[in-house]
A and B are shown apart, each in its own frame.
Chain A
Amino acid sequence: MTLWFVFAIMTAVAIFAVLWPLGQSAGVRNDASEATVYKDQLSEIDRDLAAGLIAAPEADAARVEISRRLLSAADHQRASPTASSVRIRRIAATVALVGLPALSMALYLPLGSPGLRDFPLADRTGTPSGSESLDNLVAQVEKHLEKNPTDGRGWNVLAPVLMRLGRYDDAARAVRNSITYSGDSSDRRADLGEALTGAAGGVVTAEAKTEFERAIALNADEVKARYFLGLAAEQDGRPEEAAARWRAMLAKAPPNAPWRPLAQAALVRVGGSVMPALPDGAMASAKDMSEADRAKMIHTMVDRLASRLKQDGGDVEGWLRLVRAYMVMGDRDKAKNAQTEAREAVANDTERLRQLNEGLKNLGLDG
């Protein structure tokens, strides 16, 4: 609300800047003209002559020239401004009063984000210098490891933090060290691949791919490696292979696996379709149904979810599930609608709005 109040004051100041001269009586005179300059030049000659900077004949010649300019300026005197016509002033005032706010709003509203407050860093972290202390901790651990580079456990702790901070090159180095000093394992190989991918800006490079393949060789069920190999296939232009990999992952996955949405979204992205996640009980009963019955059951469940959310709009998880379900069913329009409704439903609660937007972004819909 304060923001709109500030906008109103700013607009008022701008309008006032236009109206103020229009309201002045025409008494404000401005008699500056070319002639003034030439008169000053004439007196300058006298001063230069007195100071001995120019000789008398030159001064005379200059006087003649400038007087000629003065005469010509007087001939071409500008028409002195007339008193203002009230009608014109009124039109100008109306333009300012109506046009300025209208134009500003027409430009600002599509460009600006009036609903978004400021996020200065100091206010955002719990402690006054939260991020600083994290960085300090990292620096301390790094210093410790510089002295004791064989401390495998230290590298284990440091690697994921570096990854979070986006320092992928350092993270890759850390994982390599942790493999060297505390042993090879499938998840470390997968982490290394992930760090290399991050360092390459999200592209699964050949080097990264080798690491993922090693991880799978160590443990065929290494989820991260399998996901990234799918991604590699997608980036290499083989969406069918990617879809097959992800589908296989999902088929084996426990129903509450945290990475399920990610894999599903990836699958949707490459055009594969997947059954929406069902509650455990429903899953069991759906197993015995025919294809048509199963589809019907899913539709009923989705509709039920939709109508529940219409009454209780605060359930962010529910909204995300609904949008995901629509996308999986191939109904993009409904997914979009649900997205809009969800935003409206949680619009008053910034925290939930944030969660929602994050979730939607993960689903591959625009944030």
Chain B
Amino acid sequence: MIAEAGHYALVLALGLALIQSTVPILGARWGDAALMNVARSTALAQLVFTLASFLALITLHVTSDFSVVNVFENSHSMKPLIYKITGVWGNHEGSMLLWVSILALFGGLVAAFGNNLPLSLRAHVLAVQAWVASAFYLFILMTSNPFLRIINPPLEGRDLNPVLQDPGLAVHPPMLYLGYVGFSISFSFAIAALLEGRIDAAWARWVRPWTLLAWIFLTLGIAMGSYWAYYELGWGGWWFWDPVENASLMPWLAGTALLHSAVVMEKRNALKVWTILLSILTFSLSLLGTFLVRSGVLTSVHAFASDPKRGVFILLILCIFIGGSLTLYAWRASALKQGGLFAPISREGALVLNNLFLTTACATVFVGTLYPLALEVTTGQKISVGAPFFNLTFAPLFVPLMLAVPFGPLLAWKRGDLLGAAQRLFAAGVAALVAIAVLWAWTWGGSTLAPLAIGLAVFVVAGALSDLAERTGLFRVPFGTAVRRARGLPRSSWGTVFAHAGVGIALMGIVCETTWNSEYIGSMKTNDVAHVAGYALKFDGLTQRQGPNFQEVAAQFEVSLDGKWLSTMKPSKRSFTTRGSTITEAALLTRGASQLYISLGDIAADGTIAVRIYHKPMVLLIWFGPVLMAFGGMLSLSDRRLRVGAPKPARVPRSLQPAE
């Protein structure tokens, strides 16, 4: 009964979404309050039913009900409980159900906490949200139904892909989806603004928390996914420029641009039309990411053609929503009133620059990801666009962006003083130069670029701190006053500091890891010793162990530094009988922000093992940076105050021209 009730709940959610997508819009057209309020109750009810459906699927997985095809194909009765639960979204059908559940969750949140929105705006937003939801409910029910049954249930399931049997699966997809789907709210707000034909600074105030929330989750989701790939895939890489990764990076780049342009809009009532476009593009890229990952087009264009039902359906959704919204934009955007003016050198100008770089970076990723697909479709030729392309295009875009980051917060609104800002960044510049000089001397004869890149990273971090010092008047006023001012500083300013510093720290990690990592690849017999970056690793032999649904062979390594014993590392290989596959579990030893990493290769019959041992200096900074960024985002989100961008008045009072 649970299976069927879950199935029926999903069908009811579709019915409610269809009502929610039409009735409130008609209500807004006719100015009928009762009809507009239907949006709110249906959104909440839709949330209840979708969650019920999702919980039903979880229950089925937990109780190992193999009469459900989805459970049979992706579960196993001996799986540990946590993987029974996470296995729910470790497969296509379940992950789509998670997708719509989060969509319904965001709709429900707007309905529950959207009391500060004008009635007709809320009605429009929820209706647009319901259009998206209806399309995806239909997609799930028609092509990826997780509740289909088997009349003669088998006694055992086929187990989950072993690579996914990891705690990472519990966190990464939900985070990523919260990010992807969260941008649907800014999309709905943008479409609602276009439909209503009115948009102003208040709009940005209302969208702000939703965009921030989505951005925080997407940042954490991507970082989490990268760390997972790093320790699970056994290659020691943390970013592969793989299309699936790019699919999540594109919305992040566009979303970061959106976050910044929305600030301009809220504070200064400018860049309105551009912000709307970015909202549409960000969610479109999220949809594109879903399409790329879910249609099978990435495994091979041909795999897509052989089972086209799902792919074509998502492609259709994609065309309707992206094409439709862009058409609506082209049609209505000209009717929107332009907002405030500003000089090129100003905080607004800096944010425009930021937007230009981020969207260009996003475009290069877009081209690099889709060009090989397009080429394969049209000519059948298979090429792969990998790291060299992205490194060549990304670096030139990010270097000037990084240089500009510290300047932005120091410029005044409306008209800024570049020279003044540069003076205030003097200390940061000196810090960067010192870092470069020291590194150069230390690594004499090594990489030339790495110290420069580290210097850039130091400049970004120090720049963020100088902004803080500037605002609190540190070193200029008595310390006590500065602390009091720091406490009175809006939390959003603190958020900016943390987020910008996070960018610099991540850059530091990336440069250190790629330049100074060292590795040992070879085969080892018992009692052999490998030397990597000053560490001595002695191979002590193999042990066997029986896991809940796998058998494990672990190798034991004694790690010592300068003859002093540090720790024992146990990389292993696990064989899963049901799927007949073997995965490697890397062993990690964290020393400060650096890590030692051992991954096992083949094990020969005489006990000789092939190993890859890496020393990765400062590698943890790569993920600590995004965590800082997300923390900055959370600080900013927790700041419920209104944002005002006080413009710097011109020197001659007469030139205080109207801003509109």
Q: Which of B267-323 contact A (CB under 8 A)?
A: 268-269
| Contact residues in B for A135 (Cβ distance below 8 Å) | 78
Q: Confirm or deny: B572 has a beta carbon within 8 angstroms of a beta carbon on chain A.
A: no
Closest to A14 in B: B12
Q: Confirm or deny: A271 has a beta carbon within 8 angstroms of a beta carbon on chain B.
A: no
The answer to whether residues A73 and B19 also contact, given A21-B40, A24-B34, A116-B149 and a CB cut-off of 8 A, is: no
Q: Confirm or deny: A54 has a beta carbon within 8 angstroms of a beta carbon on chain B.
A: yes
**Are B32 and A53 within 8 A (Cβ)?**
no
Dominant secondary structure at the A interface? helix
Closest to A64 in B: B656
Q: Which of B3, B117, B156, B642 is A41 in contact with, Cβ under 8 Å?
A: B642
The stretch of B60-68, B96-104, B236-244 in contact with A is B60-68
User: CA A21 – CA B66 in complex, angstroms?
Assistant: 41
**Are A88 and B648 within 8 A (Cβ)?**
no
**Are A45 and B23 within 8 A (Cβ)?**
no
In the assembled complex, how far is the CB of residue B111 from the closest CB belonging to chain A, in whole angstroms? 11
User: CA A26 – CA B156 in complex, angstroms?
Assistant: 57
| Contact residues in A for B67 (Cβ distance below 8 Å) | 116, 118-119
**Are A37 and B641 within 8 A (Cβ)?**
no
| Contact residues in B for A284 (Cβ distance below 8 Å) | none
Q: Confirm or deny: A6 has a beta carbon within 8 angstroms of a beta carbon on chain B.
A: yes
In the assembled complex, how far is the CB of residue A227 from the closest CB belonging to chain B, in whole angstroms? 23
User: CA A12 – CA B116 in complex, angstroms?
Assistant: 30
The answer to whether residues A58 and B642 also contact, given A21-B37, A37-B205 and a CB cut-off of 8 A, is: no
Q: Which of A154-179 contact B (CB under 8 A)?
A: 165-167, 169-170
Q: Which of B7, B19, B200 is A96 in contact with, Cβ under 8 Å?
A: B19
| Contact residues in B for A30 (Cβ distance below 8 Å) | 33, 115, 118-119
The stretch of A74-82, A214-222, A303-311 in contact with B is A74-82
Tally of A interface residues using CB under 8 Å? 93
Q: Which of B33, B200, B658 is A73 in contact with, Cβ under 8 Å?
A: B200
User: CA A54 – CA B269 in complex, angstroms?
Assistant: 19
User: CA A108 – CA B33 in complex, angstroms?
Assistant: 33
Q: Which of A11, A51, A73, A118 is B12 in contact with, Cβ under 8 Å?
A: A11
| Contact residues in B for A54 (Cβ distance below 8 Å) | 646
**Are A131 and B4 within 8 A (Cβ)?**
no
- CB-based A-B contact count at 8 angstroms: 244
User: CA A273 – CA B399 in complex, angstroms?
Assistant: 77
In the assembled complex, how far is the CB of residue A63 from the closest CB belonging to chain B, in whole angstroms? 9
**Are A111 and B7 within 8 A (Cβ)?**
yes
Closest to A29 in B: B33
User: CA A167 – CA B5 in complex, angstroms?
Assistant: 34
**Are B12 and A100 within 8 A (Cβ)?**
yes
| Contact residues in B for A26 (Cβ distance below 8 Å) | 33-34
| Contact residues in B for A53 (Cβ distance below 8 Å) | 471, 488-490
**Are A118 and B16 within 8 A (Cβ)?**
no
Q: Confirm or deny: B523 has a beta carbon within 8 angstroms of a beta carbon on chain A.
A: no
**Are A68 and B659 within 8 A (Cβ)?**
yes
User: CA A66 – CA B44 in complex, angstroms?
Assistant: 35
**Are B63 and A84 within 8 A (Cβ)?**
no
Q: Type the 1/0 row for A37-71, where 1 means its CB is closer than 8 Å to any CB of B.
A: 11011001100100111100111111011101100
Closest to A3 in B: B1
Q: Confirm or deny: B35 has a beta carbon within 8 angstroms of a beta carbon on chain A.
A: yes
Q: Which of B118, B485, B643, B644 is A32 in contact with, Cβ under 8 Å?
A: B118
Q: Confirm or deny: A114 has a beta carbon within 8 angstroms of a beta carbon on chain B.
A: yes
**Are A45 and B488 within 8 A (Cβ)?**
no
Q: Which of A227-259 contact B (CB under 8 A)?
A: none
Q: Confirm or deny: B622 has a beta carbon within 8 angstroms of a beta carbon on chain A.
A: no
User: CA A114 – CA B149 in complex, angstroms?
Assistant: 10
| Contact residues in B for A103 (Cβ distance below 8 Å) | 14-15, 18
| Contact residues in B for A13 (Cβ distance below 8 Å) | 45, 48
**Are A357 and B152 within 8 A (Cβ)?**
yes
**Are B490 and A108 within 8 A (Cβ)?**
no
Q: Confirm or deny: A85 has a beta carbon within 8 angstroms of a beta carbon on chain B.
A: yes
Q: Confirm or deny: A202 has a beta carbon within 8 angstroms of a beta carbon on chain B.
A: no
Closest to A114 in B: B4
**Are A121 and B32 within 8 A (Cβ)?**
no
User: CA A41 – CA B641 in complex, angstroms?
Assistant: 9
Closest to B123 in A: A81
**Are B19 and A100 within 8 A (Cβ)?**
yes
**Are A92 and B78 within 8 A (Cβ)?**
no
**Are A84 and B34 within 8 A (Cβ)?**
yes
Q: Which of B636-660 contact A (CB under 8 A)?
A: 641-649, 656, 658-660
User: CA A32 – CA B114 in complex, angstroms?
Assistant: 10
Closest to B62 in A: A120
Q: Confirm or deny: B8 has a beta carbon within 8 angstroms of a beta carbon on chain A.
A: yes
**Are A21 and B38 within 8 A (Cβ)?**
yes
Q: Which of A18, A51, A60, A117 is B1 in contact with, Cβ under 8 Å?
A: A117
Q: Confirm or deny: B364 has a beta carbon within 8 angstroms of a beta carbon on chain A.
A: no
Q: Type the 1/0 row for B133-145, where 1 means its CB is closer than 8 Å to any CB of A.
A: 0000000010001
**Are A78 and B118 within 8 A (Cβ)?**
yes
Q: Type the 1/0 row for B244-257, where 1 means its CB is closer than 8 Å to any CB of A.
A: 00000000000000
| Contact residues in A for B23 (Cβ distance below 8 Å) | 18, 92, 95
**Are B141 and A107 within 8 A (Cβ)?**
yes
Q: Which of A3, A100, A120, A166 is B5 in contact with, Cβ under 8 Å?
A: A3
Q: Type the 1/0 row for A3-20, where 1 means its CB is closer than 8 Å to any CB of B.
A: 100110011011001101
Q: Which of B7, B44, B64, B643 is A121 in contact with, Cβ under 8 Å?
A: B64
| Contact residues in A for B120 (Cβ distance below 8 Å) | 78, 81
Closest to B22 in A: A95
18 examples of A-B residue contacts, CB within 8 angstroms: A2-B1, A3-B1, A6-B5, A10-B49, A14-B15, A21-B38, A32-B119, A34-B202, A36-B116, A41-B201, A44-B644, A52-B485, A76-B198, A100-B15, A112-B8, A113-B4, A118-B65, A367-B151
User: Which residues does B use to contact A, with CB under 8 Å?
Assistant: 1-5, 7-9, 11-12, 14-16, 18-19, 23, 30-38, 40-42, 44-45, 48-49, 60, 63-67, 77-78, 115-120, 141, 145, 147-149, 151-153, 155-156, 198, 200-202, 205-206, 268-269, 340, 414, 471, 485, 488-490, 546, 577-578, 580, 641-649, 656, 658-660
Which are the 10 A-B pairs with shortest beta-carbon distances?
A: A17-B45, A81-B33, A120-B63, A21-B37, A62-B646, A121-B64, A34-B202, A37-B202, A58-B646, A84-B34
